């Protein structure tokens, strides 16, 4: 999520009148003439988000050789889903998915498949871009490397990347990166940043660049790190470099070994890279909805990452810093529950909720107490306007599932 998007965050929910019957693949993708200049813009995003490897350079995150079995079908349904909107209308589950520009959708309860749905040319094999949900995967890998003693979260970033000693990261620790409290004031919707990762075209006469070149002169204003929650995607891209330097492995290899293999991923995932092969740890991962469901299911237990790391994600964050930050409106449907941003996850320890969020409607929501996983990929036209809609939808899904128990 970039700075321009964050400045517009507020909770809205509008209705677009669309009539469509349920089917496994519910609409063809628009904008199949997507290219580097428009792939993030609707309707081109319907194609672009599902075909990233045709537009950007990527590396493969290898699947396991022994995938976990497909989820057994649940006897429960979402037939009683009835989401009330601000203007008094009531949406059934299909209306909700269409209105929120859903591309892929999976709900699991007690480890069983309750509902699965696809649109805009997506299907169970589509590798859809996860946007900033990628950050949450990077946060998990960090915890595993911390458990192995390869990374000290309290160490300065420059211990691992001494080439950043003359940049705005000179006083920042790994923990500051993980919690978005690095104190760096920068608009990461800038052309320079996006061009460095090759996600938008260079202007005429601009030289080819990469993320390392971009960081060499990265000196925006700063405040003392460790203070306010200030969301900045560059932080997680730097964190990805820290992981690679500390481990001696590519980020794609780390995710494959420590996440995709253990969850029993059925399909390869992808991660976008710049012209020099540096990974987009902030938002470049692409996955099937099925494997996102497997990731969520794995996080219902304590087996995927060290228990101490998972406990810290759930309970170690600063709720006051989060409440004063730009993300607080996104979780307002939960009422007065306290949330924090910890190790790249938006969490409520008291509710047992873990959320990975990405712009344009990418969501992985895990309810560890109710044993519910929701995975949702989308191509919402506005980057942030309907991000909270997934939370609203989840709460109605939880009502339906728990009342039928």
Do 63 and 266 contact (CB within 8 A), yes or no? yes
**According to the model, what pLDDT value does residue 404 have?**
76
Cβ-defined contacts of 85-88 (< 8 Å, 24+): 85/13, 85/14, 85/15, 86/13, 87/15
pLDDT one-digit tens code per residue, 197-248: 999 999 999 999 999 999 999 999 999 999 999 999 999 999 999 999 999 9
Closest C-alpha among 97, 127, 124 to residue 113: 124
**According to the model, what pLDDT value does residue 231 have?**
97
**According to the model, what pLDDT value does residue 387 have?**
83
Q: Is the pLDDT of residue 78 over 80?
A: yes
Q: Is 118 helix (H, G, I), strand (E, B) or coil?
A: strand
Helices then strands, counting H and E runs in the chain, come out as 15, 13
pLDDT tier for residue 388 given thresholds of 50, 70 and 90: confident
Q: Is the pLDDT of residue 2 over 60?
A: no
Instruction: Give the dihedral of Cα atoms 156, 159, 165, 167; nearest 10 deg.
Output: -50
Whole-angstrom distance, CA of residue 99 vs CA of residue 15: 6
Q: What is the DSSP letter of 358?
A: E
**According to the model, what pLDDT value does residue 136 have?**
99
Whole-angstrom distance, CA of residue 168 vs CA of residue 234: 11
pLDDT tier for residue 12 given thresholds of 50, 70 and 90: very low
Instruction: Give phi and psi for 202, each to the nearest 5.
Output: -75, 150
Whole-angstrom distance, CA of residue 185 vs CA of residue 328: 19
Sequential DSSP letters for 224-243: -TTSS----HHHHHHHHHHH
- Planar angle of CA 137, 324, 335, nearest 5 degrees: 80
Interaxial angle between packed helices 307-315 and 133-147, expressed in degrees from 0 to 180 and rounded to the nearest 10: 130
**According to the model, what pLDDT value does residue 132 have?**
98
Q: Is the pLDDT of residue 346 over 80?
A: yes
**According to the model, what pLDDT value does residue 28 have?**
52
Instruction: Give phi and psi for 137, each to the nearest 5.
Output: -65, -40
Minimum mean pLDDT among 45-59, 172-186, 381-395: which range?
381-395
Q: Is the pLDDT of residue 298 over 70?
A: yes
Whole-angstrom distance, CA of residue 367 vs CA of residue 353: 5
Whole-angstrom distance, CA of residue 244 vs CA of residue 167: 19
Do 349 and 121 contact (CB within 8 A), yes or no? no
Do 233 and 188 contact (CB within 8 A), yes or no? yes
Minimum mean pLDDT among 82-86, 176-180, 384-388: which range?
384-388
Q: Is the pLDDT of residue 139 over 70?
A: yes
**According to the model, what pLDDT value does residue 29 have?**
58
Sequential DSSP letters for 331-346: GGGGTT---EEETTEE
Mean pLDDT (whole number) for 32-50: 93
Higher per-residue confidence, 19 vs 242: 242
Q: Is the pLDDT of residue 176 over 90?
A: yes
Burial class (CB in 10 A: 0-12, 13-18, 19+), 91: buried
Cα torsion 232, 233, 236, 241: sign? negative
Residue 21: CB atoms within 10 A of its CB come to: 6
Residue 227: CB atoms within 10 A of its CB come to: 13
Q: Is the pLDDT of residue 18 over 50?
A: no
Whole-angstrom distance, CA of residue 19 vs CA of residue 116: 19
pLDDT one-digit tens code per residue, 322-337: 999 999 999 999 998 9
pLDDT tier for residue 46 given thresholds of 50, 70 and 90: very high
Higher per-residue confidence, 17 vs 59: 59
pLDDT one-digit tens code per residue, 367-386: 999 999 999 999 999 998 88
**According to the model, what pLDDT value does residue 392 have?**
95
Computed over every residue of the chain, the mean pLDDT equals 92
Instruction: Give the dihedral of Cα atoms 328, 331, 336, 337; nearest 10 deg.
Output: -100
Whole-angstrom distance, CA of residue 394 vs CA of residue 365: 8
Q: To the nearest whole percent, how much of the chain has pLDDT over 90?
A: 89
Sheet with 58-61, edge to edge strand ranges: 58-61, 269-272, 285-287, 128-129
Mean pLDDT (whole number) for 299-307: 96
pLDDT tier for residue 183 given thresholds of 50, 70 and 90: very high
Instruction: Give phi and psi for 21, each to the nearest 5.
Output: -90, 155
Instruction: Give phi and psi for 140, each to the nearest 5.
Output: -70, -45
**According to the model, what pLDDT value does residue 384 have?**
87
Residue 150: CB atoms within 10 A of its CB come to: 16
**According to the model, what pLDDT value does residue 17 have?**
28
What is each CA distance from 233 to 38, 59, 230, in whole angstroms?
Answer: 21, 20, 10
Q: What is the pTM of this model?
A: 0.92
Cβ-defined contacts of 204-207 (< 8 Å, 24+): none
């Amino acid at each position: 999520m970039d700075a321009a998007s964050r400045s517009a965050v507020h909770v809205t929910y509008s209705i677009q009148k669309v009539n469509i019957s349920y089917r496994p693949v519910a609409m063809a993708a628009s904008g199949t003439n997507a290219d580097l200049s428009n792939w993030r813009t609707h309707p081109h995003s319907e194609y672009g988000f599902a075909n990233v490897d045709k537009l950007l350079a990527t590396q493969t995150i290898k699947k396991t050789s022994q995938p976990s079995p497909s989820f057994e079908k649940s006897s429960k349904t979402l037939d009683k889903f009835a989401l009330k909107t601000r203007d008094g209308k009531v949406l059934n589950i299909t209306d909700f998915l269409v209105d929120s520009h859903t591309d892929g959708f999976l709900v699991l309860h007690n480890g069983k498949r309750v509902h699965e749905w696809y649109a805009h040319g997506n299907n169970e094999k589509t590798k859809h871009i996860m946007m900033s949900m990628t950050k949450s995967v990077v946060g998990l890998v960090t915890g595993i490397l911390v458990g192995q003693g390869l990374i000290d979260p309290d160490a300065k970033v420059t211990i691992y990347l001494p080439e950043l000693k003359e940049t705005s990261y000179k006083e920042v620790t790994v923990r500051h990166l993980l919690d978005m409290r690095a104190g760096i004031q920068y608009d990461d919707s800038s052309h320079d940043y996006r061009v460095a990762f090759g996600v938008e075209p260079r202007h005429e006469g601009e030289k080819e660049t990469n993320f390392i070149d971009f960081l060499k002169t990265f000196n925006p204003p700063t405040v003392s790190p460790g203070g306010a929650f200030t969301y900045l995607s560059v932080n997680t891209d730097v964190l990805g470099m820290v992981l690679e330097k500390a481990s001696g492995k590519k980020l794609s290899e780390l995710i494959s070994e420590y996440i995709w293999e253990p969850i029993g991923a059925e399909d390869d995932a992808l991660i976008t890279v710049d012209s020099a092969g540096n990974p987009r740890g902030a938002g470049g991962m692409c996955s099937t909805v099925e494997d996102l469901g497997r990731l969520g299911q794995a996080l219902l237990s304590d087996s995927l990452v060290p228990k101490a790391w998972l406990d810290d994600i759930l309970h170690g964050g600063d709720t006051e810093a989060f409440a004063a930050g730009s993300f607080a409106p996104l979780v307002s449907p939960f009422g007065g529950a306290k949330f924090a941003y910890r190790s790249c996850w938006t969490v409520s320890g008291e509710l047992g909720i873990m959320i990975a969020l990405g712009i344009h409607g990418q969501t992985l929501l895990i309810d560890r107490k109710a044993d519910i996983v929701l995975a949702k990929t989308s191509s919402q036209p506005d980057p942030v306007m309907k991000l909270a809609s997934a939370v609203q939808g989840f709460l109605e899904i939880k009502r339906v599932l728990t009342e039928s128990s």
